[in-house]
Amino acid sequence: MKGLFGLMVGMLISLSAVAQSQLFGFVHDAETNEPLPGAVVSIHELNRSQLTDLEGKFRFENIRPATYHMHISSLGYKAQTLIKITGPDTKKLEVRLEPTILELSEIVVESNHYKVGPKEQTLPMEILDAEYLAKNRKGTFVNSIENIPGVSAINTGVGISKPVIRGMSFNRVIVNDKGIKQEGQQWGTDHGLEMDMFEPGRVEVIKGPGSLMYGSDGLGGIINVFPPSVPQNQMIEGNVQGIYKSNNNLIGTSTVVQGKVKDWVYRGRFSTQDFEDYEVPASDFTYNGYLLPIYNDRLKNTAGNERNFSLMTGIKKNWGYSTITVSNFHQKAGLFVGAVGIPRSFQLTHDGSYGNIDIPRQETKHLKIISNSNILVGQRWVEVDLGYQRNKREEHSDPTAHGRQIGPDGSLEHGLDLQTLTANARYFWHSSEDHMRVIGFQSQYQWHNWDGFAFLLPEFSSANLGLFVYEEYSWANKFTATGGLRFDLANRDISAYSESDEENFFQYNGNIDRNYYNFSGALGLSYYPNENLNAKINLGTSYRVPTANELSINGLHHGTFRYELGNSTLTTERGLQMDFVFNYQRKDFSFVITPFASYFKNFIYLSSTSEFSSGFNPFVPAESGQIYQYLQHDAIFSGTEIAIEYHPLEKLHWRAAYEYVYNYNLDTKLPLPFTPPGSLYTELEYGFDIEKGWIEGVHLGANVKRVFDQNRVDRNERTTPGYWLLGVNTGFDFSIGSNTTIQATFSAQNLLNSNYFNHLSRYRLLNLPEQGRNFVISLRIPFAIQ
């Protein structure tokens, strides 16, 4: 990997003696024609940005002839993207920014990986910046984006959550961190997304089929996570963030230091989280016909901690940039004592501490080494993302509770160790400013080992290779057509596993070595007759190669309370997905509706059998229950999101978002499991400035979430009643010194301490209510050394 990196850098340096030019121009207000000072002008390909001067001017020197994507943004204006092909006679750029008071329009809305702008992108996309993420921070990265329409979270307690997009989760949502698909053990309900909630600087949520550009698994959607932009100034700067939550005494901190020395940039971050058992608005719960106690209303053994770091360094030149990031996520999280096996009253007595992490618990480490480069080859850009990641997941429980002796593995029930190598490349080819072609290559190789006293998933290796071409063509200043084709090859090589003792022999799975291939494609059209209106349609195919667990899992999985059985005959799951976007926008109002409808062939799901595991596997612990086997049949999905934002006054912000998903398994004639209920979220916020004193800006807000009943459930899945949640927040900025502004926010979540069940929670199966009232204080203190 290092060799390849070196080769590329070398290749560029040898090319560096070519003609230079410059990119310059000015930015002004489209309504008043006044120059706009302080607007941010950045060149995407070079990771360089500037602020316009008092006359609204900017100038980038030492620019090579090539195609550049420029982003221009300023507070109070709609962000803009320009595609500029520079040459020796490049003219002055004139940028006119339209005023807006809609916060989301102020963020640069361009999909980073493919540089597809907001109008040209034919799938629905949401962009979230660091400010949004900080304001919605809840304890995990996934929970901070769950109020986006179409996005939900599957939670296990408060520290473990995984993303759901349009009712799809597990291996049907791709999370790309810096362009590398995150590979943990996504298939497990109680396996959270391994990501530091303080790290993302920008997040894109693409809803709908992402298979064309992102490969297998992108059925529900894509979450692209990006770090904050690299430092632009020759100084050492950074910030310290702290968060406290009253419900489980959570203390989180994150410290970041970054800087630039000539062309070299660097950043380091260290984050921590420590939390105790969380409190629920109940002193008992009903399970198995027993009324079981919750001591002092706190769920025993739900404490946890996190220690995460990331280190980045890189170089920025006029041929592009290259960065390398090493990061590690380390979480230790207790599971509610009753969550493994049938909860018993004697296990639930208080153990004297709310902060200890006993068994059952899980410990997850996720190491990533990611290199991102954007390199000018001739006059065109090549982006290369390389990655190595290692996910080590340990699930600890008491072996004697499973009818086994304490052996060499101690309390380690499942130790899963997955390593993944990834190499992706994209070549951008513009024939004109109206036409873009991307030729891409994606590859991934992974291998898995395991230990622990109980078998779940065998050793395996897996490989994927994909080639695609994507075209974008705009005409008449009101149409953009997009389309693409892709070919993929995949292999799953799974080792046989058996277990035996004096009396019994059991073959869990035989050797499985299978190849899969797939063709996919997409076509889209975007129509934008004027500044206010944008309508889009996208028709795409998506696919997903069966995962190793679907082919070969064989054991009791506590995440679902079931005995799960793989199926080695599964074939590729394919989807035909239709997506629509209708967007109407004015200066102070926006309305977006995004309906979708999809048909899936060979959709893979866990189907209940009429068999008990006791009659099947002689090594299974008692109470392992019913066998669920992976089967595949056709299914349909459909639904919509609606989002409205309105500012009756400039300082008064109102937003409402609705989401609904409908799905149907054409074989069982029942809905699919883990379908999020419909919900309505609304928030009202008032912000004002105080000119005197040390307090600068103040905001006050309230939000209400109404989640409807979920009565459409799969066989053996329980219905969940709806609920209301109320939250409030306030915050202000205050300055100390001339350059330091501290941001402080206070919020209350579940203010009414409502007792409710989350249909997607792992603990729903235990009839346990969700976390009660929570007061949150967070602070952000920046610093800089000149």
Partner 1 sequence: MKKTKVWIMAALALPFVYSCDDDDSVDTTAPTITLEDPVAGESFAAGGTLDVHCDLTDDINLATYSITVHDNFDSHSHGRTLANFNYDQSFTVEGTSAHVTQEISVDATSTAGPYHFIMQAIDAAGNATSFEDASSVEIEIWLTNQTMAHVDFTDQGGTKISELEGVVDQSLSIYGKVEDESGTLDHVLVVVGHLEAESGDGHSHGRTREEEIFEKEFEVEGQASVSLAELLANESIVVSQAELDELETGEHLYLIVTATDADGNISRGTIEIHFD
Residues near partner 1 (CB under 8 A): 287-293, 295, 342, 344-349, 403, 527, 529, 533, 535, 537, 578, 580, 582, 593, 595-597, 607-612, 614-615, 622-623, 625-626, 636, 638-640, 660, 662, 664, 668-671, 712, 715-716, 718, 765-767
CB 591 within 8 A of CB 534: no
Shorter beta-carbon distance to partner 1: residue 417 or 623: 623
Instruction: Give the C-alpha separation, 455 to 445, whole Å.
Output: 23
Instruction: Give SS3 for 13.
Output: helix
Q: Nearest to residue 150, comparing CAs of 663, 659, 657, 594? A: 659
Cβ at position 435, least distance to partner 1 in Å: 23
| DSSP letters spanning 484-542 | EEEEEEEEEEE--EEEE-SS-EEEEE--EEEEEEEEEEEEEEEE-SSSSEEEEEEEEEE
Shorter beta-carbon distance to partner 1: residue 73 or 538: 538
Cβ at position 664, least distance to partner 1 in Å: 7
Cβ at position 204, least distance to partner 1 in Å: 22
Cβ at position 717, least distance to partner 1 in Å: 9
Q: Which two tokens stand for residue 611?
A: 């068999």
Cβ at position 660, least distance to partner 1 in Å: 7
Shorter beta-carbon distance to partner 1: residue 348 or 370: 348
Q: Which two tokens stand for residue 233?
A: 């100034």
Shorter beta-carbon distance to partner 1: residue 304 or 540: 540
Cβ at position 544, least distance to partner 1 in Å: 21
HEC assignment per residue over 337-388:
HHHCCCCCHHHHCCCCCCCCCCCCEEEEEEEEEEEEEEEEECCEEEEEEEEE
Cβ at position 127, least distance to partner 1 in Å: 22
Shorter beta-carbon distance to partner 1: residue 114 or 605: 605
- Strand-strand pairing, 236-245 and 774-785: antiparallel
Instruction: Give the C-alpha separation, 42 to 26, whole Å.
Output: 13
Shorter beta-carbon distance to partner 1: residue 130 or 401: 401
Place of tokens 């207790």: 334
Shorter beta-carbon distance to partner 1: residue 281 or 293: 293
Instruction: Give the C-alpha separation, 82 to 90, whole Å.
Output: 14
b (16+ CB within 10 A) / e for 662-697? ebebeebeebbbbbbbbbbbebebeeeeeeeeeeee
- Cβ neighbours, 10 Å, residue 614: 15
Q: Which two tokens stand for residue 625?
A: 């229950």
Cβ at position 581, least distance to partner 1 in Å: 8
Instruction: Give the C-alpha separation, 748 to 247, whole Å.
Output: 10
Shorter beta-carbon distance to partner 1: residue 144 or 607: 607
Shorter beta-carbon distance to partner 1: residue 239 or 617: 617
Cβ at position 670, least distance to partner 1 in Å: 6
Shorter beta-carbon distance to partner 1: residue 623 or 696: 623
In the chain the first and final C-alpha atoms are separated, in Å, by 36
Instruction: Give the C-alpha separation, 723 to 569, whole Å.
Output: 42
Cβ at position 536, least distance to partner 1 in Å: 9
Cβ at position 614, least distance to partner 1 in Å: 4
> Count of residues for the chain?
786
Shorter beta-carbon distance to partner 1: residue 346 or 503: 346
Kindly report whether the peptide bond that precedes residue 360 is cis, defined as omega within 30 degrees of 0. yes
Shorter beta-carbon distance to partner 1: residue 320 or 769: 769
Shorter beta-carbon distance to partner 1: residue 149 or 671: 671
Degrees to nearest 5, angle at CA 318 with 316 and 319: 90
Instruction: Give the C-alpha separation, 338 to 401, whole Å.
Output: 12
CB 359 within 8 A of CB 412: no
- Quick one: CA torsion of 132, 136, 142, 145, rounded to 10 degrees? -50
Cβ at position 141, least distance to partner 1 in Å: 29
CA dihedral sign, ordered 627, 162, 204, 687: positive
Cβ at position 575, least distance to partner 1 in Å: 14
Host H or E run for residue 212: helix 211-214
Shorter beta-carbon distance to partner 1: residue 169 or 665: 665
Cβ at position 716, least distance to partner 1 in Å: 6
Residues near 756 by Cβ (< 8 Å), separated by ≥ 6?
A: 707, 721, 723, 725, 769, 770
